[in-house]
Amino acid sequence: MTIKAVPLATWPTPLEPAMRLAGAIGLEELWVKRDDLTGLGGGGNKVRKLQYTCAQAVEAGATGVVTTGAPQSNHARLTAAAAARLGLSCTLVLAGTAPEAMRGNLLLDELAGARIVWAGTDPLAEVAAAQDGYVIPFGGTNAVSAQGYVDCAKELLTQLPDLDTVVVALGSGGTMAGLVAQLGPERVLGVDVGALPDPRATVAGLLDEMLAPAESGMWAAGGTETGAVSESLRIDSGQVGAGYATVTEPVRAAMRLAARTEGIFLDPTYTGRAMAGLCAAKPRGKVVFLHTGGLPGLLA
């Protein structure tokens, strides 16, 4: 299978030292991979995935795209921005009902020209299937789009060849899967945000698709058999709290710490949880925190 991408940003994103934050947490060395600075539509990790899913849509001859998410979905915002860049129409199928005021990501969705369909309590996938356009999956994640984080891992190995651990939020699974495919499971710590009922199985399933015999060259660093992937994945499930839509005190503390030591703003759903997981794990050696964006959601 040939995987291609449409250009939506300028790479590589910066890798910045975070010495004050490292000292506050008790780490030997900490770097921040600034995928919040991907440029398009307010930035964030979904841009890397959309370069592949939008390429599939264009190749299929689509004139519009459809995707799903929560009301403050970062993926939905960036899908709207990517569609605008590529001259495609965009329909966003969002859970629940319209709020009284359009804030945060919702405001940006409308600004980019997206049509918003509120699904109420109906299954998002069913409502999306009834719309007109090429359907991009939840979170923009499939085995093809996860290649975007194989690309990111290659950037990291150029920027910091002897890195020991990358810490990343684990939402729909594609970001972690792409990193693991290139770096191996021992060098990636995913912090579950509560978006999936079984994140371990989801990431393992994506890797099984990515690392099928025809694509086995992606498994460059780890040397792990795909059948053992699920057991070898490093996942912190201790930051979910009462659920995806809630905020815990450790997450609030992590957000304050990052802002007050490095001037880096995190969101409460993804990067805040990832930073709380980093603070709890305190990995040794050269640690990279992958900042996946999400600031507009905080402003909601």
**Catalytic member of 73, 172, 216, 237:** 73
Is residue 292 within 8 Å of 175, Cβ to Cβ?
yes
* Amino acid at the residue 147: Q
- 174, 173, 208, 178: which is closest to 193 by C-alpha? 173
Helices (H), the chain: 19-25, 46-59, 74-86, 105-111, 124-129, 147-159, 174-183, 199-210, 229-232, 249-262, 271-281, 295-298
Known active-site residue 73: yes
- The 3-state DSSP class for residue 117 equals strand
Fill in the amino acid letter for 126: E
Separate counts of helices (H) and strands (E) for the chain: 12, 10
Strand partners, 59: none
The SS3 call for residue 137 is: coil
Can you give the three-state secondary structure of 130-146, one letter per residue?
CCCCEECCHHHCCCCCC
Q: Which two tokens stand for residue 190?
A: 């995913």
- Point out the residues that are catalytic: 73
